[in-house]
Structure 1
Amino acid sequence: MQKRLLVLAAGILQVPVIKKAKDMGIFVIAADGNQNAEGLKYADKAIVVNITSEEEVLKVAREERIDGVIHPCSEVAMNVMGRLNDELGLSGITREQAIRATNKHLMREAFEKGGAPSPKSVLTKGVEDAWKQFQKLDGDGILKPSRNSGSRGIAKVIKSGRDEGNTNKENFCRLYDVALNESRDKSVLLEQFIEGPEFSIEIIVWNGKVNVLTVTDKKTTGAPHFVELGHNQPSCFSAEEVETLKAAAVAGVKALGVNNCACHAEAKLMDGKAYLMEIGARLGGDFISTELTHLSTGIDMVAAAIDVALGSEPDLSIKEEPKGVCIRYFCPRPGKLVNISNTEILNDAHVYLWEIYHKAGDEIPEVTSSLSRSGHVIVTEESPQKAIALAEKIINEVKFETV
């Protein structure tokens, strides 16, 4: 009998999951609150519903007699997915685990209890409390929403006397308000700032076994917002550093207690030690899980995530020749977009996928979150170093004229 999979959210990042499930012979029900969501047209059945409403989605799930649910590359409806798993006896994380895996404060508590390495962190009681805690902090800090993703609302706060400048109380309060406004549960964390390169670790958990597929190197804007500008796989760092990151991620997944799901762990390295920034019990966004991982490892991570959501053992064997792969994002100078030129360079045989999100006449925003980027290009090469070089060349040579 044909399995029935509910995909919660049907935006551009969910399209590869919807297509893959259909290729696997699964009946796909895609649900999104936006009737124009790109992925709805690829599903066997499209349903427009508020995916953050547990009761509304539970009603849909029962009516559609689903065999599994997946919420890929997003966190807005993780608790909904957990509720469905609980109520309908489906494979995947529970509602309690979903809440822990989307609330950074609860996640930090779980990491500390489970002995997983992570930065010092405090849940602030308000802006005055946050300012007092900042004064006590040994070094610089990070303000971040306790619930959100995509670098939204995150800002570095710098201790006075540092060469980079200093965060006075007025500026601190402004940044705190930004984080508060971006927080889905209206609370803000102040954390120890970890100086070092950023990574993600892509994982499939099945029957309690944590399978690490690869480590991703990240390129970001740096302070104050740390927006991700690109990623490459496999990692260009040493084997020892990669193993340190993998061990931290495994410890973090076990500390969270999640099972039968994909995981996307984010970490930094400082002085040879890994620090977990967060772990999402889901496929990672930015095409990391849906495209980069199968290109660099030969393992179909999307199919594996679909399998575990349906209660089937995932196939983690190598299906295609591994390559070096890199994604870079277009982030032109803010202003009104007048013209885009030299796009012919995107016709390179090594370009796997590309898209430009804007057209002439659009307003290009300042890059303060992942939503502010203007396009992407994914390239493959025989090594990640060559893939990075080509992707950087393309990003620099496609011209965005703004005024």
Structure 2
Amino acid sequence: MATVKTVAFVEPSFYGVSFARAAYEQGHRVISIVSSLDNPQKYGYEGIYHDLILADIRDEESIYGAIAQSPYAGQLDALIPATDYASHLTAKVAERLGLRGVPYEAALRSRNKDLAREAYAEHGVPSAKFRKVRTYEEAAAAASEIGYPVVLKPTNCASSQNVYFIASEAELQRAIEIIVEFKVTYMDFKVREDYLIEEYLDGPEFSVELFVRDGQPLFSAVTEKLTSPLPYFVEIAHTLPTPSYKEQEAAIIHTAVEALRAIGITNGPSHVEVKLSSTGPRIIEVNGRPGGDNISSDLLVQAFGIDIFEATVDYYLDNPINLDKKQHRAAAIAYVTADRDGIFERLEGFDGIDQQEGVVRSHLGVAEGDAVSVARSSDDRLGYIITAGDTPEEAKELALELAGRVRVVYRQQEAIAAQAQAQAQA
């Protein structure tokens, strides 16, 4: 590398760790702005950063002040959000520092689902009917106006946290009672007290992985998603490129690009979620960053040989961007979930999966003695299997087949205790 740049990331975590790794492997000086000095170990990026800056990542002035008081004041070449929750704050600080990034208003709209829905409506982007509510009475009136079934969700959360499929007023009242007690989400960000009642969109779900320049796609790919049975919306499998509805792919991509324009994202990476409803593609949400859930870190690499994190670092540094497909294959990920609540003992059929032909890798995210539950949000998934193949059908079939072989074994003591309790109540 001809020139070493200084690149700062705000709270690398989950998908954001891939940002730090890409910049580090490019030979740049990687600075992590963190809420805790323990975070490199917590999120798994020890050894791929050069320095830490401590700040309250929930506060714009704290982030800005921490940079100003650091040895890197006036020295940063890029400031990149590495967690969704701080993306709008990072955008604001980047603007103050004169650095490239997503416009603050666009980042704010992509973080807040009500602002995004308003932008889609204003620009005529196919979306869902919605109402912003604060109380049960407002929610019931909105649901009656929109028509059941509806979806109730927070306006500024992620990972399907407290997202509810609602078929009746009774279900709505129970869900409202739960959601109003949901005060803090990941990394201690406050949950807004505004909620959305949305029209339930029928049809299969997809995401569009995009990289745009001046509003035009430099790269696009459609990922097929499989979600858990209602009433939850947990993503349990992804296949890239999509093996289904190929004839609708252009329309899905077009709708995603129009949503980005409505939000105000005209440059850089994005991950746009779309439902292919009976009336055509309709937007679920826009994220102004590469897709998480191993889509960008693994599936894009396995399918096309594309490192979108590397391309994004290059974009922020105003370097040439390489998004050429180096191969034309396919990849899939299937998640392992519990079939009931209980205490985890082990997975049967998981050992040795990595040695299966076509398996890229697997991961187990729980340990013996952990409490597990039916997947109500992405946090409840137990592990995953990533596969690759010459076709999307091949990769998807293998991932689902292997995940289907896995069985969750619960602690016997728990089963005995439950049986004893049932007998005592009989």
Report if TM-score (shorter chain) is over 0.5.
yes
Whether 2:96 is the aligned partner of 1:87: answer yes
8 Å contact 2:9–2:79 — kept in the other structure?
A: yes
CA shift for structure 1 position 40 = 4.2
Amino acid at match of 1:174: E
Q: Distance in 2 between matches of 1:103 and 1:8?
A: 19
What is aligned with 1:345?
353
CA shift for structure 1 position 179 = 6.6
Q: Quick one: which of 188, 194, 205 aligns to 1:198?
A: 205
8 Å contact 2:296–2:307 — kept in the other structure?
A: no
What is aligned with 1:68?
78
Structure 2 counterparts to residues 204-353 of structure 1, below 5 A: 204-318=211-325, 320-333=326-339, 334-342=341-349, 343-353=351-361
Amino acid at match of 2:146: L
Q: Distance in 2 between matches of 1:12 and 1:279?
A: 18
Q: Distance in 2 between matches of 1:336 and 1:103?
A: 35
Structure 2 counterparts to residues 363-374 of structure 1, below 5 A: 363-374=371-382
CA shift for structure 1 position 384 = 1.3
What is aligned with 1:133?
142
Q: Distance in 2 between matches of 1:283 and 1:369?
A: 20
Q: Distance in 1 between matches of 2:370 and 2:183?
A: 29
Amino acid at match of 1:71: P
Aligned partner of residue 92 in structure 1, secondary structure: coil
Write the deviation string for residues 88-138 of structure 1: whole angstroms up to 9, x where unpaired.
111111222211111111101111111211011111142211111112223
CA shift for structure 1 position 55 = 1.8
Write the deviation string for residues 254-285 of structure 1: whole angstroms up to 9, x where unpaired.
11111332111001011250010110111221
Whether 2:64 is the aligned partner of 1:58: answer yes
Which one is further off, 349-358 or 48-57? 48-57
What is aligned with 1:399?
407
8 Å contact 2:136–2:173 — kept in the other structure?
A: no
Aligned partner of residue 93 in structure 1, secondary structure: coil
CA shift for structure 1 position 207 = 3.4
What is aligned with 2:395?
387
8 Å contact 1:201–1:264 — kept in the other structure?
A: yes
Q: Distance in 2 between matches of 1:111 and 1:300?
A: 30
Aligned partner of residue 238 in structure 2, secondary structure: strand
What is aligned with 1:174?
177
Amino acid at match of 2:360: Y
Aligned partner of residue 76 in structure 1, secondary structure: helix
Whether 2:112 is the aligned partner of 1:106: answer no
Query: 1:31/1:365 Cα in 2 relative to 1: closer, same or farther (>3 Å)?
Result: farther
What is aligned with 1:158?
167
Q: Distance in 2 between matches of 1:41 and 1:2?
A: 18
Q: Distance in 2 between matches of 1:40 and 1:80?
A: 25
Aligned partner of residue 387 in structure 2, secondary structure: strand
Write the deviation string for residues 219-272 of structure 1: whole angstroms up to 9, x where unpaired.
111322201111110011233211111010011011111133211100101125
The TM-score, its normalising length taken from structure 1, stands at: 0.92
Q: Distance in 2 between matches of 1:12 and 1:169?
A: 32
What is aligned with 1:24?
26
CA shift for structure 1 position 86 = 0.9
Query: 1:106/1:169 Cα in 2 relative to 1: closer, same or farther (>3 Å)?
Result: closer
CA shift for structure 1 position 51 = 2.1
Q: Distance in 2 between matches of 1:8 and 1:230?
A: 29
Which one is further off, 149-158 or 119-128? 119-128
Aligned partner of residue 153 in structure 2, secondary structure: strand
Amino acid at match of 2:26: M
8 Å contact 2:105–2:264 — kept in the other structure?
A: no
Which one is further off, 207-216 or 259-268? 207-216
Amino acid at match of 1:89: G
What is aligned with 1:122?
131
Which one is further off, 208-217 or 262-271? 208-217
CA shift for structure 1 position 12 = 4.0
Q: Distance in 2 between matches of 1:390 and 1:304?
A: 30
8 Å contact 1:245–1:274 — kept in the other structure?
A: yes
8 Å contact 1:206–1:308 — kept in the other structure?
A: no
Q: Distance in 1 between matches of 2:348 and 2:214?
A: 51
Aligned partner of residue 303 in structure 1, secondary structure: helix
Q: Distance in 2 between matches of 1:330 and 1:133?
A: 36
Which one is further off, 193-202 or 298-307? 298-307
Q: Distance in 1 between matches of 2:77 and 2:67?
A: 9
What is aligned with 1:8?
10
Which one is further off, 262-271 or 198-207? 198-207
CA shift for structure 1 position 169 = 5.4
Q: Distance in 2 between matches of 1:135 and 1:50?
A: 41
User: Structure 2: which 5+ runs fail to align?
Assistant: 412-426
Write the deviation string for residues 55-79 of structure 1: whole angstroms up to 9, x where unpaired.
222234343221112224x311012
CA shift for structure 1 position 175 = 5.2
What is aligned with 1:361?
369
**Higher Cα Rg: structure 1 or 2?**
2
8 Å contact 1:332–1:364 — kept in the other structure?
A: yes
CA shift for structure 1 position 400 = 2.5
Q: Distance in 2 between matches of 1:391 and 1:135?
A: 41
CA shift for structure 1 position 189 = 0.5
Aligned partner of residue 207 in structure 2, secondary structure: strand
Q: Distance in 2 between matches of 1:127 and 1:314?
A: 49
The TM-score, its normalising length taken from structure 2, stands at: 0.87
8 Å contact 2:205–2:225 — kept in the other structure?
A: yes
